[in-house]
C-alpha cells in the first residue's frame, strides 16, 4: 500500500559538517543548563490570539520541542545565520502543531497546525478541508458559546467539529460563520520543502490560505513542535488547572 503523498526530506547539504563543527566549538556555551533547555530542548511560548481555539486558547503557555525537526537558524537567538538549511532534520507529520517563522515576515513566531505536506493538494470547500481531492472526515459536535473568539455577539453559537486527518490525528475546530472568506478556495499545491498550515479556529486565523502574509511555510523556518500546555490563565489572571500540563497533538 502506498501513502497518499510521500513527504520530501531535505537532502544533506555540503556545508552540514561546518554547522556541526560550529556547534562543537560552542559546546562550552551550549552546555549551560538554561541554554540547553531553552534553545536545544524546549522553548516556552505564550498564546496571544484565538486562532488555534479550541486546542490552544489565549492565556495558554506551551512548550515547543526544539529538536523535533532538527535545527536551523531560527532555532537560536536572533536567528543568527550560523549555517544554512537544517541539521539533524526530520519532517513534520500532518496534525503537528508547529511554531514557525513565516517566509513573508521572518521576525514573528506563529503557531498553527500542519495539514499539508510537500506535493499535497489542499482546498477548502464550503468550510470543509479537502486533501488530495478527498474531504477530511469530520463529526459535528455540540455547539460552543465561546462567541468572543469569533468576534460574534455574546450568546451566539459557534459550530464545533472533530476533524480526522488521513493519518488518524484528530482534533476539534471552530466554524464561526457559514460562507466565510476562506471557506471556499482554489487548490493549493504544496511545494517541495514546505508545509501548509491552518488554525483550528478556521474563520479567525491568518494561515497558509493567506498567500500575501504566510502562505506555504518553508521547513527551514520551523522552530519546533508544540507538545505540552504547561500553564493556562483566564483573562482575569486565574489559573485554569484543568489545562495544566496537558499534552497537545
Question: Which positions are annotated as active-site residues?
Answer: 51, 112
| All cell numbers assigned to 234 | 483566564
Q: Which residues contact 214 (CB under 8 A, 6 or more apart)?
A: 102, 103, 104, 110, 197, 206, 207, 208
CA gap 231, 240 in Å, rounded = 8
- Per-residue cell: 146: 465561546
Q: What is the layout of strands, in order, in the sheet containing 121-125?
A: 134-135, 128-131, 121-125, 188-189
Residue 113: which of 205, 38, 3, 177 has the closest Cα?
Answer: 205
Residue closest to 58 by CA, chosen among 102, 111, 114: 111
Identify the CA nearest to 226 among candidates 10, 6, 46, 34: 46
Amino acid at each position: 500500500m502506498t501513502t497518499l503523498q510521500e513527504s520530501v526530506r531535505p537532502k544533506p547539504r555540503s556545508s552540514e559538517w561546518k554547522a556541526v563543527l560550529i556547534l562543537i566549538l560552542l559546546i562550552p556555551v551550549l552546555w549551560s543548563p538554561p541554554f540547553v533547555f531553552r534553545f536545544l530542548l524546549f522553548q516556552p511560548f505564550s498564546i496571544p490570539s484565538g486562532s488555534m481555539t479550541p486546542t490552544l486558547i489565549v492565556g495558554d503557555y506551551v512548550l515547543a520541542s526544539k529538536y523535533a525537526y532538527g535545527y536551523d537558524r531560527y532555532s537560536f537567538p536572533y536567528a543568527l545565520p550560523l549555517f544554512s538549511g537544517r541539521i539533524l532534520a526530520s519532517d513534520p507529520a500532518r496534525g503537528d502543531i508547529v511554531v514557525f517563522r513565516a517566509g513573508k515576515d521572518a521576525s514573528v513566531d506563529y503557531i498553527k497546525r500542519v495539514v499539508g505536506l510537500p506535493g499535497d493538494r489542499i482546498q477548502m470547500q464550503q468550510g470543509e478541508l479537502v486533501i488530495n481531492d478527498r474531504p477530511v472526515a469530520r463529526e459535528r459536535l455540540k455547539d460552543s458559546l465561546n462567541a468572543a473568539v469569533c468576534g460574534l455577539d455574546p450568546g451566539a453559537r459557534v459550530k464545533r467539529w472533530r476533524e480526522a486527518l488521513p493519518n488518524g490525528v484528530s482534533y476539534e475546530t471552530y466554524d464561526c460563520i457559514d460562507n466565510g472568506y476562506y471557506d471556499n478556495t482554489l487548490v493549493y499545491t504544496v511545494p517541495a520543502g514546505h508545509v501548509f498550515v491552518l488554525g483550528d479556529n478556521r474563520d479567525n486565523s491568518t494561515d497558509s490560505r493567506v498567500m500575501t502574509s504566510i502562505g506555504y511555510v518553508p521547513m527551514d523556518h520551523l522552530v519546533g513542535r508544540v507538545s505540552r500546555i504547561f500553564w493556562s490563565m483566564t483573562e482575569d489572571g486565574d489559573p485554569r488547572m484543568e489545562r495544566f500540563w496537558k499534552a497537545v497533538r
